[in-house]
Structure 1
Amino acid sequence: MASFGWKRKVGERVSKAAAQQFEAEAEKVDDGADKDDDVDWLHAIKKRREALLEDCAAKSKRLKDEGATLAEQGRHWEAIKKWDEAIQLTPENPLLYEMKSQVLTMLQEVFPAVQAAEMVVKLRPLWWEGWQTLGRAQLSLGELDLAVRSFQMAVHLCPSERPLWSEDLAWARQLQQRRQAAQDRKHREEEARQEVLHAPELQEDYDFESDEVLAACTAVAERQRRYEELRRTAVVVDAEGNAREVPAEEAEGDTSTSSPSKEQLVKARGP
């Protein structure tokens, strides 16, 4: 039977020159591997990341500008969609949240508007326009005390901005005073109502032939009259913050408590 020892014999006949050639080629492969090991992969990844960030910033700016244009055209929901896309690319840009909060306030989406404005002051706490936008959103939500505080922060950061004093802060404080006056009036109205329902004169027994009955009826009628007058009046607060009660019809036509003018166009505010 034939032997298979030929494999070993072939290996023995390999020339020395061929073996040296194989060794040289193996060394070249090793040298190439060493060169690959010398590549600064961290630096390459960093450069690639910087390039991606630059692309995101450029696209975010384009989306922000497109949203501002749409908002000025009255296409508010389309503008919000653009800004949401920009936020996905640059989530730490407070300008995007600030413009979004303005538009949401116009659309009476007050709770999301407050949330967006809160992100503004969180990302840039020293930006007075962010506090102004937050105050306006809080005012629309009915949070008067929070709105006053936000406007005060804006005034503290930029005391030279006169509209903050004359419009935003003054209007919020006037609403506070009006609310307090209305609460006081409601309290007095409830007291008058209770006096009518539980008049002390009605708890006593009288001799119907005496003058005490007439006096008791007169007292009850007077309480009823005061209660009815309170129900027919309304509280108004003038520009100086003075509260007064006027007939309800007069209060409806009173223009002294009208709200300040509001900007209709949304602008891309600067940093």
Structure 2
Amino acid sequence: MASFGWKRKVGEKVSKAVVQQFVAEAEKAENDGPGHDDEEEEEEEVDWLQAIKRRREILLEDCAAKSTRLKDEGAVLAEEGRHWEAIKKWDEAIQLTPDNSLLYEMKSQVLTTLQEVFPAVKAAEMAVKFRPLWWEGWQTLGRAQLNLGEVDLAVRSFQVAIHLCPSESTLWREDLAWAWRLQKQNVATKEKMRQEEETKNQILNAPELEQDYDFESDEVLAACVAVAERQTRYEEMKRTAVVVDSEGNIKNVLTGEGASEDEATPSNEQFVKARGL
């Protein structure tokens, strides 16, 4: 019993020492173990993300600065008449800052000068896409559309520009006024072409000649005179073009050498003589 008790007391005493040592090691493990390393890694990870973000900001600043330099170089080239070199500079700048509307607008102006009508319209469309409230972008788009022949679209673009900047007088007095004149001219030209086609069909299918006439009767002469007058009117229409003056009035202007009235409309005697041959 005494031996058991001694062992029990010794064991109790040793057990406390082991426990204390275990507790000490556990606390040290908490401070220096995997959990502590995770916190340090989290802190390091946050620092890494911040570094990447800062690096990206620096790169964007570098791209913007280089894009501005290329834009200015292109403007100088365009002023010197070196248009294709200017476009190349602006294309490089667009690669760096693809949402810069000014680059597209400048490119559209130069392409319009070079008569590259469709690319000019596409570039101007990109300009208003990235900056829809910029009246100069809409003005450039309207001018490019006029150059392409899209008069109705140009009128709308100029109207948008005026809505955004009604105080800009050139939009009213030059751009929109010119587009309206062209619009009127297009309508009048289409009407003239319709009349020409109708007159031509009346000549080919003259209703006066559908009947059977006595060759020596006056009815034959009247029918042939009517056909001749139609032919003369058709030839006159083909020699005229529709224009709109500065006041917006539509006029038909003779484009070729016009004949005199006596030569244009044959008399009955001339017509009978011709029939006699």
Q: What is the TM-score with the length of structure 2 in the denominator? A: 0.76
Following the alignment from structure 1 to structure 2, what is the Cα–Cα distance between the partners of residues 180 and 189? 14
| Code of the aligned partner of 1:46 | K
| Correspondence 1:51 to 2:58 | yes
Aligned 1:185-204 pairs, distance under 5 A: 185-204=192-211
Structure whose residues are more often helix by fraction: 2
Please list the CA deviations of residues 182-207 of structure 1 after superposition, one character each: whole Å capped at 9, or x if unmatched: 11111111111111111111111111
Aligned 1:114-125 pairs, distance under 5 A: 114-125=121-132
Structure 1 unaligned spans of 5+: 1-22, 251-271
| Correspondence 1:38 to 2:43 | yes
Following the alignment from structure 2 to structure 1, what is the Cα–Cα distance between the partners of residues 235 and 122? 44
| Correspondence 1:127 to 2:134 | yes
| Code of the aligned partner of 2:230 | R
Residue 172 (structure 1) aligned to one of 179, 202, 205? 179
Deviation at 1:32, TM superposition (A): 7.6
Residue 85 (structure 2) aligned to one of 59, 74, 78? 78
Provide the secondary structure at the position in 2 that maps to 1:92.
coil
Structure 2 counterpart of 1:111? 118
Q: State the structure with more CA Rg.
A: 2
Q: What is the TM-score with the length of structure 1 in the denominator? A: 0.78
Deviation at 1:249, TM superposition (A): 4.3
Structure 1 counterpart of 2:14? none
| Code of the aligned partner of 1:209 | E
Structure 1 counterpart of 2:226? 219
Please list the CA deviations of residues 38-58 of structure 1 after superposition, one character each: whole Å capped at 9, or x if unmatched: 132222211111111111111
Percentage identity across paired residues of the two chains:
71
Please list the CA deviations of residues 139-196 of structure 1 after superposition, one character each: whole Å capped at 9, or x if unmatched: 1111111111001100111111111111111111111111111111111111111111
| Code of the aligned partner of 1:38 | E
Deviation at 1:36, TM superposition (A): 4.7
Q: Which runs of 4+ in 1 moved over 4 A?
A: 27-34
Following the alignment from structure 1 to structure 2, what is the Cα–Cα distance between the partners of residues 197 and 187? 15
User: Residues 227 and 36 from structure 1, CA distance in 2 versus in 1: closer, same or farther, beyond 3 angstroms?
Assistant: same
Aligned residues: 228
Q: For CA contacts below 8 A with separation 6 or more, give which structure has more relative contact order.
A: 1
Following the alignment from structure 2 to structure 1, what is the Cα–Cα distance between the partners of residues 216 and 73? 87
* RMSD (Å), alpha carbons: 2.3
Residue 163 (structure 1) aligned to one of 170, 190, 197? 170
